[in-house]
Amino acid sequence: SAVISQKPSRDICQRGTSLTIQCQVDSQVTMMFWYRQQPGQSLTLIATANQGSEATYESGFVIDKFPISRPNLTFSTLTVSNMSPEDSSIYLCSVETSGDMNTGELFFGEGSRLTVL
């Protein structure tokens, strides 16, 4: 497993502003992921962040709206840009570590709950 710290844990933001969420892992990991969980919904993958290359975004998510940095193997940031109330959600950082059978297991940070007014 891995210990994953996210901040802020929660924030209330004004429409049109941007917020950067930080994710720190206690060990070096290759794969880091950013998920969104809207109220009452399951997890939706926003993008995969790999160190040394641009993030890979899923359908429906674009770099201009959700820029991601991955400067090293223990840290990543996700920015939610030009926020609207529809961006109110929990944003989760996750990492993949080696589990049983040398296959990947996904672990999550505590999440960042954003409310956009």
- Contacts with another protein by CB under 8 A lie at 1, 33, 41-43, 45, 90, 92, 96, 99-101, 103-111
Cα 90 from chain centre: 9
**Cα distance between residue 8 and residue 91, in whole Å:** 10
Q: How far is the CB of 53 from another protein (least distance, A)?
A: 15
Q: How far is the CB of 82 from another protein (least distance, A)?
A: 26
The β-bridge partners of 19 are 80
| Phi and psi angles of residue 55, each rounded to the nearest 5 degrees, phi first | -65, 150
Read off the tokens for 73: 């193997």
Q: How far is the CB of 71 from another protein (least distance, A)?
A: 23
| Cβ distance to another protein smaller for residue 80 or 92 | 92
| Cβ distance to another protein smaller for residue 18 or 98 | 98
Under DSSP, the state recorded for 74 is T
| Cβ distance to another protein smaller for residue 11 or 96 | 96
